Chain A
Amino acid sequence: MGKLDGKVAVITGGARGQGRAHALTLAREGADIVICDIAAQIDTVPYPMATPADLEETVRLVEDLDRRCVAVQADVRDGAQMQAVAERAMSEFGRIDILLANAGIFSFAGGGGSWEMTDEQWRDMIDVNLTGVWQSCKAVIPHMIAGGRGGSIVITSSTAGLHGFANFAHYVSAKHGVVGLMRTLAIELAPHNIRVNTVHPTSVRTPMVMNEATRRLFGGGQDISQEQFFEIMQSMNALPVGAVEPEDISNAILWLVSDDARYVTGVTLPVDAGFGVK
């Protein structure tokens, strides 16, 4: 008996990192899974993005848990592609109960301040991390409403959705922006018993964080060791930890999408090792 038996979850950015951990956590509780991922590089992203092989690996890992998993290569920036993801979920499983709008990228201004960021960096970031969330919601919500069984949407924001940071105004803006989107959707969808919440992770051990470009950003231009990097990260958290595991975010999301949180909506839930009180 899982907490999500009979449920179907759509997860964007599901090829690896947090998205993959969410897929496995929800599958372990009985959900069938639809994942999508761009599985391709975006030019302004300074680290290797996921591949079609990553996407297939998530499918294999979910299937190892005796759940079904459908993978679609799709770009959250493209409304038509996201409609196709939602329609594929409906044709395979006949329902969508859960949407995890998890797909996200990271980049930062080269020389320092946010006024030195390129137009392309700004555009790609807002398109993926904010507009992509809206496209994902827009594609899935009509099916949730038509199902008449309620639902749960969790948008992955960040500590940068509640606090400012130097050098990446586009990321901070997009992650704040999804809080506004979430609060609006929570009001609009409450009559349909569809709950909408955000999670706000501190640094997580995923390829988006654990890469040379990000180490250089926090190392003041130097490629510091992973250990030095975690020391810097830890100095930003209250609890003695540098970066949390993807499963720590999955555990928060599992609580939010389960009936244990049936009256939780419109909430910004930090999983941030005390970053917010530091």
Chain B
Amino acid sequence: MGTLDGKVALITGAARGQGRAHAARLAAAGADIIAVDRCASIPEVPWPLASPDDLRETAALVESHGRRCLTQVADVRDTRQMEAAIAAGLEAFGHIDIVVANAGAGSYARAWELTEAEWDAVVDTNLKGAWITCRAVIPSMIERGAGGSLILVSSTAGLRPYAHMAHYVAAKHGIVGLARALAVELAPYRIRVNAVHPTSVDTGMIQNEATYRLFRPDLEHPTREDVAPIFRTLNLLGVPWLEPDDISAAVLWLASDASRYVTGISLPVDAGASLK
């Protein structure tokens, strides 16, 4: 008996990292999963994004929990691709109860040195992509009349600024506005909408050379070990980064009926980073 038995969850950016952990945790709680990922890199993002093999591995993980997984290769920035992915999900499972808008990207430069292409890549993926995802799912949720839970993955950067990523900070703050606006509009339908704000998480989004160089510009080839002490200073609780599953635990709580009267909130999972 899981807390999500009979539920269907759509997760974007599901091929690896946090998205994969969410798929596994929600499947372990009984949900079937629609796993969406672009499965290709973006030229403006200075680290490799997920591959089709990664997405297949997520599906295998979901199936290892005895749940079904439909994978869809789609870019959250593309309405037609997302509508097709969601139509396929509804065709396969009949309904969608939970959305985890998790797909995200970033890059590093000071605000006035970002190119327009870099700005667009990050804002379109992190903010517009969440809106496109929600917009494509909401009508079927309203029509079914069974409520629902939308979880938008923001960041500590959605509550406070960091240097060298104005586009990311702006997009993640924008997610809070989107979640709050959707919460008001969707409350009459018992569809809840909340934002989650992770601090650094041990995924490919921070474990890459571009991020290492940002944190240790003094080293020619900085490593995970070189940047860990600096990441640790961002948090109160003495850890450099969280495990993806730490975020999944919060996502599961927000997806389940344990939080049936929680909507429109910003939930930090940040080891106290917001207080530093």
Residues of A whose CB lies within 8 Å of any CB of B are 183, 186-187, 190-191, 193, 195, 202, 237-241, 244, 248, 251-252, 254-255, 260-267, 269-274, 276-278
Contacts and interface: CB of A to CB of B under 8 A. Distances in A.
B190 A251 contact: no
B249 interface: yes
Contacts of A276: 264-265
Contacts of A251: 258-259
Contact of A239 (B192, B199, B252, B269): B192
Contacts of A240: 187-188, 190
Which of B183, B188, B192, B262 has the largest count of A CB atoms less than 10 A from its CB? B262
Interface in B167-189: 180, 183-184, 187-188
B270 A263 contact: yes
Contact of A186 (B192, B261, B275): B275
B214 interface: no
A131 to B, nearest CB: 23
B236 A252 contact: no
A265 B261 CA distance: 21
10 contacts: A186-B236, A186-B275, A195-B237, A238-B183, A239-B187, A260-B252, A262-B246, A263-B199, A263-B269, A267-B274
Given A186-B275, A265-B237, A273 B246 contact: no
Interface in B183-211: 183-184, 187-188, 190, 192, 199
B250 interface: yes
A277 B263 contact: yes
A244 B237 contact: no
A277 B268 contact: no
A266 B264 contact: no
B237 A193 contact: yes
A259 to B, nearest CB: 8
Contact of A277 (B180, B190, B261): B180
A252 B261 CA distance: 10
B161 interface: no
B272 A274 contact: no
A116 to B, nearest CB: 33
B242 to A, nearest CB: 5
B239 A270 contact: no
A266 B271 CA distance: 8
Contact of A190 (B184, B190, B237, B253): B237
Contacts of B268: 264, 266-267
Nearest to A278: B184
Which of B184, B188, B268, B270 has the largest count of A CB atoms less than 10 A from its CB? B268
Nearest to A264: B269
A273 B275 contact: no
Nearest to B274: A266
A94 B265 CA distance: 37
A266 B266 CA distance: 13
Nearest to B184: A277
Nearest to A247: B258
Contacts of B258: 251-252, 254-255
B190 A238 contact: no
B250 A264 contact: yes
B88 interface: no
A271 to B, nearest CB: 6
Contact of B264 (A190, A254, A269, A277): A277
Contact of A271 (B190, B238, B246, B262): B262
B183 A270 contact: no
B260 interface: yes
B264 A252 contact: no
B187 to A, nearest CB: 4
Q: Which 3 A-B pairs have the closest CB atoms?
A: A277-B264, A238-B187, A190-B236
Given A263-B242, A263-B246, A269-B267, 10 more contacts: A183-B275, A187-B236, A190-B237, A252-B259, A252-B262, A261-B250, A265-B237, A266-B268, A266-B270, A267-B267
Contacts of A183: 275
Nearest to B276: A187
B178 to A, nearest CB: 12
Contact of A272 (B188, B237, B253, B261): B261
B206 to A, nearest CB: 15
A65 B230 CA distance: 47
Nearest to B260: A248
Contacts of A262: 246
Given A193-B237, A239-B190, A265 B272 contact: yes
Contact of A270 (B187, B235, B265): B265
A187 B261 contact: no
A278 B199 CA distance: 28
B269 A238 contact: no
Contact of A274 (B239, B263, B270, B275): B263
